[in-house]
Amino acid sequence: MKIFTKQLGLFALLFSIYTIAFRYLLSNSLQYERYSIIWVYAALYGVVIFITAWFLGKADGMKRIFFDAGLRFHVINYLCFGIISELWFILGFNSDKESISTIHYTMIFWGLGLILHFIIFLRLRRYTIRGIMRSDIFD
């Protein structure tokens, strides 16, 4: 079973680029007290990530038979965002008005969502045979 695929690698690269751009725009907006535009950046960031994950996940699903309910993409999201955000603060690119505790709280709540996704994955896995959905085998 191949866990890290070409589509997942491309998604990790694109997600990292999107996250760096978002962190820059967020820090810049906070530094110059342009609070109203932050919601636009956050919404645009979410939509672009969703569209990218949708198309790359769909392409990945067509090339792979293994069923994982998008868990690999979710884990890549979590890791890339956490690492980039921590490095953003370590390297001092953050605004004076940002706090590292915000990142830590975000990662805690996101981690709880990731654990819930993992539980759902384990429950859905009961309906597969060696990672292939039973309905795909017995059609």
The reply to whether 1 falls in a domain is no
The reply to whether 58 falls in a domain is yes
**How many domains would you assign to the chain?**
1
Between CA 123 and CA 128 the distance in angstroms is 10
Could you give the 3-state DSSP secondary structure of residue 103?
helix
CA distances from 48 to 18, 45, 76, 82, 135 (A): 8, 5, 16, 18, 32
Q: Write out the H or E segment, with its range, that includes residue 129.
A: strand 128-129
pLDDT per residue, tens digit, the chain (139 aa), is 577 889 999 999 999 999 999 999 999 999 999 999 999 999 999 999 999 999 998 887 666 656 676 888 999 999 999 999 999 999 999 999 999 999 999 999 999 999 999 998 888 877 776 556 656 666 5
Query: Quick one: pLDDT at residue 62?
Result: 64
Query: Quick one: pLDDT at residue 130?
Result: 59
Query: Quick one: pLDDT at residue 125?
Result: 77
Q: Whole-model pTM? A: 0.85
The reply to whether 64 falls in a domain is yes
User: Which tokens sit at 131?
Assistant: 């990672």
Neighbouring CB atoms inside 10 A of 84's CB total 18
Query: Quick one: pLDDT at residue 3?
Result: 76
The reply to whether 82 falls in a domain is yes
The reply to whether 84 falls in a domain is yes
The reply to whether 125 falls in a domain is yes
Residue 113's Cβ-side half-sphere holds a number of Cα atoms within 13 Å equal to: 10
The reply to whether 54 falls in a domain is yes
User: For residue 126, what are the domain limits?
Assistant: 6-137
User: Which tokens sit at 32?
Assistant: 């110059």
